[in-house]
A and B are shown apart, each in its own frame.
Chain A
Amino acid sequence: MDSALLIHRLQFAFTVTYHYLFPQLTMGLAPLIVILKTLAIRTNDETYDKAARFWAKIFGINFAIGVVTGIPMEFQFGTNWSHFSRFAGGVIGQTLAMEGLFSFFLESTFLGLFLYGEKRLSRTMHWFAAFMVFVGSWASGFFIVATDAWMQNPVGYEKAADGSLQLASFWALVLNPWAWLQYAHTMSGAVITGAFVMAAVGALYLLSNQHLEQARIFVRVGVIAGLIFTVVQLFPTGDWSGKMVAQKQPVTLAAMEALFDTRHGAPMVIIGQPNMATQTIDNPIEVPKMLSFLTYRRWNATVHGLNEVPETDWPQNIPLLYYAYHIMVGLGTLFIAVMALAALLLWRGKLYQTRWVLWLLMLMFPLPYVANTAGWMTAEMGRQPWLVYGLMRTEEGFSKLVSAGNGWFTFLGFAGMYTLLSILFLFLVRREIEHGPEPMSVPVQPKSSLNPAGVR
């Protein structure tokens, strides 16, 4: 690979992967905070307000880092991928500019009100501010996913005389079926992160016997939302996504599954390492005919293998793509199991006393981040070698005049800057969690009769 191409890809991959650690939590927490604010108004219970205020602080820190790491994403379309921007800007400029106009203004205005305005606003108005932050962050998510979806499944364009693509149909772009399916899957994934993080903080407080009232709220809201969205993640949104990939990008599906040869009644590989030299899977454990069934709902359906297209049209890194996909699916399955167990215990009134499940909830919060990242890796590496599927190859899209040396300079700079951000972030979040939802001056007085988790 051209070394300039490599560094441009590396920098984008690094900055976008890092960036998405923050919006996935803010987009996931936003609806949960709205739920807490709603409960506060409906029950007229101060406890829910305190809970919402605690999560607003975590939200604020994440949002700030999300913004400062998000600006480079928009810039890099021009700085690092100028040939792509010239080629496709006439179409995806629409969705990117709409994000600026429709969500950034809305988010920044109402986030200010939400974080700084609680004393000045009525309860209903403050609820409204929280709701608008939710709407803004989810709208932002849509415009970005729609942009990516267009690169996966270009629609609504026409070719201009100079070879660039221009918008032909606005509604085709906005109603791209790929965009809506991918959006549902992405947002559900974000709520899973939010739910696991909320439940983990609650479990931490329960296990360490502090802030018990809020801890129970965190665990309850986290587990219920977690169960709903881990299921939605698999079915229907994950299932839809798989079928769409099979239909629009059969090569991608074959690479994700490391299916080297076309097969009738293709099996699904659960464990096994793709061997690119022999084009087989080492030590495979397979479920017979499962891939055919999941993709086409027929046990003997034909699934197209990599052998049907020339090797130059294969994604370049099939093993990594295969692992990203399998990690995503494997973790997704695990999430359903854990959340179902926790929900069952919650329903039977035993969750707050079952310490080993609380331990599990507390320790699992990093895994949704891994699963979401792996999901995006699947989507983006699966699209390779195309930048715009079927229309522009990745090696045609980068800024030809920005040399590898300049690329390394900025990549290393970003790496240093993001290391600093990470340290600050961890430090501040740890402080908020240590403070907890109760103001420091008020000592926590657990009421022992209502406090089964306090009994050791």
Chain B
Amino acid sequence: MSTIWFMIVAVMVAIYVLLDGFDIGAGAVHLFIARNDAERRTILGAIGPVWDGNEVWLLAAGGTLYFAFPLLYASSFSGFYLPLIIVLWLLMLRGIGIEFRSHIQDGLWTSFFDVIFSIASILLAIFFGAALGNVVRGVPLNAEGYFFEPLWTNFLVGTNNGILDWYTVIMGVVALVTLVVHGSLFLATKTEGDLNARARAVTVALWPVQLFLTIVSLAATLLVRPGILTNFSKWPSGYIIPLVVAGSLVYLLIAERQKNDKGAFLASCGYIVGMLVGAAFALYPVVLPASTDPNLSLTIYNTAAGAHGLSVGFVWWSIGMVLAIGYFVFIYRMFRGKVQVEAGTDGHGY
């Protein structure tokens, strides 16, 4: 049962990254590819109706993590205290940027919120990447299963960990580039004309960077955690995951050459899912490795909630998920297609 919940949480996190990833990525690039107010409003119109629904997946994934692995939630949230609270502030600033921008049609007001939205999105992408880096690298857990990390210590990977060190910074940059590509591809599918061309140009220019960083991050991970490939030799079918990552990257380039934005966006989804599932697969059954003593690592077994609670939860979770997917299909059908900016918005539009 704990393995099932491990997979459920991993899938929910992956869905969150796919969905909120494109609006974070769109936020990170929108200052660079949108040249005037109408273009910015087009971008916000593309993500406006869906961004808070996307963010709900963070809450739902967090809630499910809390319910299924209370000790993991307690340990990681208190240990990652500083970055998480900073992430909260950034999420707030981003929400403010999106929602309050369009309330006043004034150049100063809108550019202020555009900049806030952009900076918050960029920092969020970096922090999420660094967070994943921390989980892969391991944290200085004590015998009770708790730890606390300052923002940085000496930037070295050791037992005196900070949130940021050379490894997690690399992961942060990987995340930023990945989400910028992902967000630009989403915008390409949602826009026409100049905006579409510029969004596409960003992804083409970043493709070699993304390839380079993927290789660097894999090499760095092997250096930091030499045992990371154990699960792959144990279950060789796991090698399909790096193949998916590589295949997605290749197809992304091919689709872009053919001006197939939807195909390229799906390739980016495949890449992100592959990277995340790869990390989860490599860690399993560990959920938070200890950098101090491997025996102190948190696993799905020593952090899971009681068996009865997990079984009961499986019933209502399935019901809730069917409903949620129903709503999602419904709203994406309502708002599908390219975005047109209506003249004279009445405060409801962007």
A-to-B contact residues, CB < 8 Å: 57, 60-61, 64, 67-69, 71-72, 74-75, 77-80, 82-83, 85-86, 88-91, 93-94, 96-102, 104-106, 108-113, 115-118, 120, 158, 160, 164, 166-168, 170, 399-403, 406, 409-410, 413, 417, 420-421, 424, 428, 431, 439
Contacts A67-B55, A86-B74, A94-B313 aside, 12 further interface pairs with beta carbons under 8 A come to: A64-B99, A67-B95, A75-B84, A85-B73, A93-B70, A94-B312, A105-B320, A112-B53, A167-B312, A401-B78, A417-B92, A421-B92
Question: B108 interface residue, CB < 8 Å from A?
Answer: no
Nearest CB in chain B: distance from A130 CB, A: 14
Contact B349 A57, beta carbon cutoff 8 Å:
no
* Cβ-closest chain A residue relative to B59: A100
Find B70's partner among A64, A90, A417, A439 (CB 8 Å cutoff). Answer: A90
Contact A74 B62, beta carbon cutoff 8 Å:
yes
With A93-B67, A109-B53 as contacts: A439 and B305 at CB distance below 8 Å: no
CB contacts (< 8 Å) of A64 on chain B: these are 52, 95-96, 99-100
Contact B56 A105, beta carbon cutoff 8 Å:
yes
Contact A98 B147, beta carbon cutoff 8 Å:
no
Choose, from B124-132, B252-260, B327-335, the stretch at the interface.
B327-335
CB contacts (< 8 Å) of A71 on chain B: these are 55, 58-59, 88, 91-92
Nearest CB in chain B: distance from A170 CB, A: 5
Interface of A is mostly: helix
Which of A89, A166, A410 has most chain B Cβ within 10 Å? A89
Contact B349 A116, beta carbon cutoff 8 Å:
yes
CA–CA, A367 to B255, complex, Å? 60
CA–CA, A116 to B48, complex, Å? 10
Contact B320 A102, beta carbon cutoff 8 Å:
yes
Find B306's partner among A74, A166, A406, A413 (CB 8 Å cutoff). Answer: A166
CB contacts (< 8 Å) of A74 on chain B: these are 59, 62-63, 66
* Cβ-closest chain A residue relative to B315: A170
Contact B306 A57, beta carbon cutoff 8 Å:
no
Contact B320 A109, beta carbon cutoff 8 Å:
no
Find A401's partner among B52, B89, B91, B148 (CB 8 Å cutoff). Answer: B148
CA–CA, A108 to B58, complex, Å? 13
Nearest CB in chain B: distance from A95 CB, A: 9
Contact B73 A96, beta carbon cutoff 8 Å:
no
Within 8 A of A (CB), among B55-93: 55-56, 58-60, 62-64, 66-68, 70-71, 73-82, 84-85, 88-89, 91-92
Contact B89 A106, beta carbon cutoff 8 Å:
no
Contact A78 B305, beta carbon cutoff 8 Å:
no
Contact B66 A78, beta carbon cutoff 8 Å:
yes
CB contacts (< 8 Å) of A421 on chain B: these are 92, 96
Contact A417 B89, beta carbon cutoff 8 Å:
yes
Question: B316 interface residue, CB < 8 Å from A?
Answer: yes
With A71-B59, A79-B81, A94-B312 as contacts: A115 and B66 at CB distance below 8 Å: no
CB contacts (< 8 Å) of B306 on chain A: these are 90, 158, 160, 166-167
CA–CA, A80 to B328, complex, Å? 33
Find B312's partner among A78, A158, A170 (CB 8 Å cutoff). Answer: A170
* Cβ-closest chain A residue relative to B64: A97
CA–CA, A99 to B73, complex, Å? 17
Question: B103 interface residue, CB < 8 Å from A?
Answer: yes
Contact B316 A98, beta carbon cutoff 8 Å:
yes
Contact A86 B76, beta carbon cutoff 8 Å:
no
CA–CA, A399 to B346, complex, Å? 47
Contact B320 A166, beta carbon cutoff 8 Å:
no
Contact A105 B66, beta carbon cutoff 8 Å:
no
Contact B81 A109, beta carbon cutoff 8 Å:
no
CA–CA, A323 to B10, complex, Å? 47
CA–CA, A68 to B95, complex, Å? 7
Nearest CB in chain A: distance from B12 CB, A: 10
CB contacts (< 8 Å) of B234 on chain A: these are none
Contact B64 A85, beta carbon cutoff 8 Å:
no
With A64-B95, A85-B74, A417-B92 as contacts: A100 and B64 at CB distance below 8 Å: yes
